[in-house]
Chains A and B, each alone.
Chain A
């Protein structure tokens, strides 16, 4: 006979305000098999847990149902509670009456009825629970960092510092990311290269760090502690080990018309190039679309000039496989495409630029050697107008609904730097709000207005058009309640930022969830901000949400701390809710192995008795408990219904459904 205890949590007023918790406890007490049903203000508190422990001992409970928040939140807590009182931790079921009930209902009667039904369904499932034990698996003591921007660099350095090996996989030919393109950084105005490049060099020199640039993640298999990752090392047509980065090849290359990505396409570069002077690795790369030798076999000048024979026009992509215990996603961001914002004339006028392009125009290593000139005629602009929130906080559908967070500060920075270096330049900024929370941030913005006399205009810009060689910026001034037209020489658009487009693929490969804006979802918005809900996957930098550099670096280090915590363990407790195959039903069709993301399923030929002294050899599936993560893909794919998940059996789920549908 089962003895079930039901524990209904108020969660302060989170549940109790919308659900009559006393009634829920009372009604569930009458369910067959329930011997005790209690309610308490905070079931997860020490007192609440003691209530459960005492009831287990006093009533000899065989199972526990906790009606509380999502199992994501406290299932582990209550399993531990029960285990400490001598009950198998898998004899606990959580009825989620908070996220799936009290938070989404307003009517107390309705919510209470639903809470009772959810409780009943958990009881019905619990009755079919069986005690489970979990195995152990070893941890591969190496981390993979996907993305070599400041986030990936910082995470990798911190993990390596703790003594673990780290690989950085970066899709572009150098690490450094967007930060390497910036001129100065707010709020201290130190130059980005001065603070970033030493870190890049640290990465390159650190024995524990292996940098793979111009590489992409091809596939990810496995699970926390044991990921198997295939990495595509794309052909760069230059032997990375031989190239010394002397740059002779760049000078000789006759095909010089490639757009320089590093300078946001504002100038050109040869077909063989090193992205920028401080690139890591300091190794050339050939653009095969542009290289005359690769395209039509005629040239080969760079190979002739190269003293170390590093050029290899026949180089092919190479796929390598490595094992990791943890994966850090640090894929960063890119500014959005401005094709939806024709009113600002970005595609029509050369002198309408994005903020990231302005960074290059102001950078000493940029296309104009730091001399701020207009892209159209290389003249110094005398009137510069900035437009804020281009595609940010945009609910029209053209842009992004969120605040890109960094634009207010970098625009203040741009305005200030321009006024400092070119005091006779007029600077106007159109803004919706100025958002500058953060240490020394508001002071920084005020300096731009008060000391540097930047003209901030509250209002949106309607359009930018050309008249008499000037870019006419027409917008509204909401403070003075008037329409203004500002004839400008240069217009700078603070384009919204969005996650790097490659993140969707990567998220799918590592089974991490992403939100509607393609930002990776954290395990808990407040309490687990650097972990993905998928065990072993960690989030670093803007891939999780818009951030500036200080925040990114903090998060990257926090992320590293979590990775180190994982890699420091020798063994991980495996998931006990694993799949198993009913050999009497299994036909050995391989469908389950096809869909298993962990490679946990193999097949054996087994002899079965058929009766009458006859036997038959059949191919049947077996599941490796240490590898199975209990995702359940096989159970739904199995046409015979032979695959079933411990702790989530088809019967248990049917029992839950029946309990919900029963009136």
Chain B
């Protein structure tokens, strides 16, 4: 992985010094090793803090909505999952493609900090990444034990970029992406309600899931719109507030690329991605396998009509 980082840094420096780009969007070292965060680098010196390692889980594509409104071109490094979000944003005209220089970078899964904690690791002193293993503070983990949920099921490919940086090492998914969705589907309605009531009762409405979501780029979110006619109404029960997540899942249905950022950033560790993945599973079942963000031009199945589309009666009977 060190090699990838070196190549990326080299690329960033070259493009900055040649003037091809004026900024670089990448990941910045934190104080504690694992707290890597997205950052815009504007000079060769500031790139000293640039990092690309097993902690770079954050999806960078959403930052481009604002960044491509600014003067000059920006270089962005896109992991496979980021690139699907990137494509979807291009499709929705949210990113000005002319102002981005895209470089795809390989990824073999990123670490889930919660899983580190579960394994008793609070502070990261040293780490070393191989394709299928990570060693943290001298303790060796298989990737399956330690990576983010989204990485365990990742089948995403490196998409079409201006350029690709790769050392041609690939890791295959180790879990069925819809395993938990199927489990939820097999529950009775009451059991499922109990599951979500329990999970969502932890929600503190910090809005982190919404703010990080690359599909949530509305100029003004409906939840912040005083004029929507739904604001400042009393809740009918304690669960009503939690409908936020269900409404949000509806809003991103058909556009969600399953990048898993919602669950990654949730400070309460709620598996929010399952709501979206349920929709993705249904879309696959009803309209044929569809991956949002795989291209930049097609209409999604929920906003398109073809003669082969299912009839409501095919789904609900009657």
Q: Which of B86-125 contact A (CB under 8 A)?
A: 91-94
Cα distance A648–B87 in the bound complex, in angstroms: 34
Range for the number of chain A residues in contact with chain B: 20 to 34
Q: Does B3 contact A (CB under 8 A)?
A: no
Chain B residues with Cβ under 8 A from A513's Cβ? none
B303 to A595, Cβ gap below 8 A? yes
A585 to B218, Cβ gap below 8 A? yes
Chain A residues with Cβ under 8 A from B251's Cβ? 639
Chain B residues with Cβ under 8 A from A590's Cβ? 91-93
Chain B residues with Cβ under 8 A from A505's Cβ? 307
Cα distance A409–B305 in the bound complex, in angstroms: 43
Q: Does B220 contact A (CB under 8 A)?
A: yes
Range for the number of chain B residues in contact with chain A: 20 to 34
Cα distance A508–B230 in the bound complex, in angstroms: 34
Partner of B219, one of A594, A640, A651, A654: A640
Contacts A585-B225, A587-B92, A587-B94 known; A594 to B218 CB distance under 8 Å?
no
A616 to B69, Cβ gap below 8 A? yes
Cα distance A655–B229 in the bound complex, in angstroms: 9
Contacts A650-B228, A651-B229 known; A639 to B220 CB distance under 8 Å?
no
Q: Which of B207-262 contact A (CB under 8 A)?
A: 217-222, 225, 228-230, 251-252, 255
B303 to A585, Cβ gap below 8 A? no
Chain B residues with Cβ under 8 A from A591's Cβ? 92, 303
Chain B residues with Cβ under 8 A from A594's Cβ? 299-300, 303-304
Cα distance A588–B217 in the bound complex, in angstroms: 11
Q: Does A559 contact B (CB under 8 A)?
A: no
B230 to A654, Cβ gap below 8 A? yes
Partner of A641, one of B94, B222, B305: B222
Q: Which of B93, B217, B255 has the most CB atoms of chain A within a 10 A radius of its CB?
A: B93
A588 to B93, Cβ gap below 8 A? yes
Q: Does A618 contact B (CB under 8 A)?
A: yes
- Nearest-neighbor residue (CB-CB) of A504 within chain B: B311
B219 to A650, Cβ gap below 8 A? no
Q: Which of A574-608 contact B (CB under 8 A)?
A: 584-591, 594-595, 603
B225 to A641, Cβ gap below 8 A? yes
Chain B residues with Cβ under 8 A from A626's Cβ? none
Q: Does A23 contact B (CB under 8 A)?
A: no
Q: Does A619 contact B (CB under 8 A)?
A: yes
Q: Does A637 contact B (CB under 8 A)?
A: yes
- Nearest-neighbor residue (CB-CB) of B228 within chain A: A641
A640 to B228, Cβ gap below 8 A? no
A640 to B229, Cβ gap below 8 A? no
B213 to chain A, nearest CB (A): 11
Residue-wise interface mask of A (312-355) relative to B, using a CB-CB cutoff of 8 A (1 in contact, 0 not): 00000000000000000000000000000000000000000000
Q: Which of B92, B229, B305 has the most CB atoms of chain A within a 10 A radius of its CB?
A: B229
Cα distance A391–B219 in the bound complex, in angstroms: 58
Q: Which of B283-316 contact A (CB under 8 A)?
A: 299-300, 303-305, 307
Residue-wise interface mask of A (499-527) relative to B, using a CB-CB cutoff of 8 A (1 in contact, 0 not): 00000010010000000000000000000
Q: Which of A622-660 contact B (CB under 8 A)?
A: 637, 639-641, 650-651, 654-655
B218 to A587, Cβ gap below 8 A? yes
Cα distance A654–B303 in the bound complex, in angstroms: 24
Cα distance A508–B309 in the bound complex, in angstroms: 11
Contacts A587-B94, A654-B230 known; A640 to B220 CB distance under 8 Å?
yes
Chain B residues with Cβ under 8 A from A650's Cβ? 228-229
A640 to B93, Cβ gap below 8 A? no
Chain B residues with Cβ under 8 A from A655's Cβ? 229
Cα distance A641–B225 in the bound complex, in angstroms: 9
Chain B residues with Cβ under 8 A from A587's Cβ? 92-94, 217-219
- Nearest-neighbor residue (CB-CB) of B220 within chain A: A585
B69 to A584, Cβ gap below 8 A? no
B240 to chain A, nearest CB (A): 14
Chain B residues with Cβ under 8 A from A585's Cβ? 218-220, 225
Cα distance A586–B93 in the bound complex, in angstroms: 12
Q: Which of B222, B255, B300, B303 has the most CB atoms of chain A within a 10 A radius of its CB?
A: B303
Chain A residues with Cβ under 8 A from B222's Cβ? 640-641
Q: Which of B219, B221, B299 has the most CB atoms of chain A within a 10 A radius of its CB?
A: B219
A589 to B225, Cβ gap below 8 A? no
- Nearest-neighbor residue (CB-CB) of B219 within chain A: A587
A618 to B219, Cβ gap below 8 A? yes
- Nearest-neighbor residue (CB-CB) of B221 within chain A: A640
Chain A residues with Cβ under 8 A from B94's Cβ? 587-589
Chain B residues with Cβ under 8 A from A584's Cβ? 219-220
- Nearest-neighbor residue (CB-CB) of A585 within chain B: B220
- Nearest-neighbor residue (CB-CB) of A661 within chain B: B236
Chain A residues with Cβ under 8 A from B217's Cβ? 587
A580 to chain B, nearest CB (A): 14
Chain B residues with Cβ under 8 A from A639's Cβ? 218, 251-252, 255
Q: Which of B218, B228, B251, B255 has the most CB atoms of chain A within a 10 A radius of its CB?
A: B218
A586 to B228, Cβ gap below 8 A? no
Q: Which of A111-160 contact B (CB under 8 A)?
A: none
B287 to chain A, nearest CB (A): 14
Cα distance A584–B221 in the bound complex, in angstroms: 11
B49 to chain A, nearest CB (A): 29
A420 to chain B, nearest CB (A): 48
A637 to B303, Cβ gap below 8 A? yes
Contacts A585-B219, A587-B219, A594-B299 known; A619 to B93 CB distance under 8 Å?
yes
Chain B residues with Cβ under 8 A from A508's Cβ? 305, 307
Q: Which of A508, A585, A589, A655 has the most CB atoms of chain B within a 10 A radius of its CB?
A: A589
B24 to chain A, nearest CB (A): 23
Chain B residues with Cβ under 8 A from A618's Cβ? 219
B315 to chain A, nearest CB (A): 16
Cα distance A640–B210 in the bound complex, in angstroms: 13
Cα distance A104–B230 in the bound complex, in angstroms: 32
- Nearest-neighbor residue (CB-CB) of A588 within chain B: B93
- Nearest-neighbor residue (CB-CB) of B311 within chain A: A504
B218 to A640, Cβ gap below 8 A? yes
Residue-wise interface mask of B (4-30) relative to A, using a CB-CB cutoff of 8 A (1 in contact, 0 not): 000000000000000000000000000
Cα distance A616–B69 in the bound complex, in angstroms: 8
- Nearest-neighbor residue (CB-CB) of B298 within chain A: A594
B90 to chain A, nearest CB (A): 11
Q: Which of A344-394 contact B (CB under 8 A)?
A: none
Chain A residues with Cβ under 8 A from B225's Cβ? 585, 641
Chain A residues with Cβ under 8 A from B304's Cβ? 594
Cα distance A640–B222 in the bound complex, in angstroms: 6
Chain A residues with Cβ under 8 A from B91's Cβ? 590
- Nearest-neighbor residue (CB-CB) of A592 within chain B: B303
B84 to chain A, nearest CB (A): 16
Q: Which of A508, A584, A585, A586 has the most CB atoms of chain B within a 10 A radius of its CB?
A: A585
Partner of A589, one of B69, B92, B220, B221: B92
A621 to chain B, nearest CB (A): 11
Residue-wise interface mask of B (75-92) relative to A, using a CB-CB cutoff of 8 A (1 in contact, 0 not): 000000000000000011
- Nearest-neighbor residue (CB-CB) of B299 within chain A: A594
A653 to chain B, nearest CB (A): 9
B95 to chain A, nearest CB (A): 11
B205 to chain A, nearest CB (A): 19
A654 to B229, Cβ gap below 8 A? yes
Cα distance A589–B94 in the bound complex, in angstroms: 7
- Nearest-neighbor residue (CB-CB) of B302 within chain A: A637
A314 to chain B, nearest CB (A): 26
Given contacts A585-B218, A590-B92, A594-B299, 7 further A-B contacts (CB under 8 A): A505-B307, A587-B92, A587-B218, A588-B93, A588-B94, A640-B219, A640-B221
List the 6 closest pairs (A to B, CB-CB), nearest first.
Answer: A589-B92, A594-B303, A640-B218, A651-B229, A641-B222, A594-B299
11 contacts between A and B (CB under 8 A): A584-B220, A588-B94, A589-B94, A590-B92, A590-B93, A591-B303, A594-B304, A603-B93, A616-B69, A650-B229, A651-B229
Chain A residues near B (Cβ < 8 Å):
505, 508, 584-591, 594-595, 603, 616, 618-619, 637, 639-641, 650-651, 654-655
Chain B residues near A (Cβ < 8 Å):
69, 91-94, 217-222, 225, 228-230, 251-252, 255, 299-300, 303-305, 307
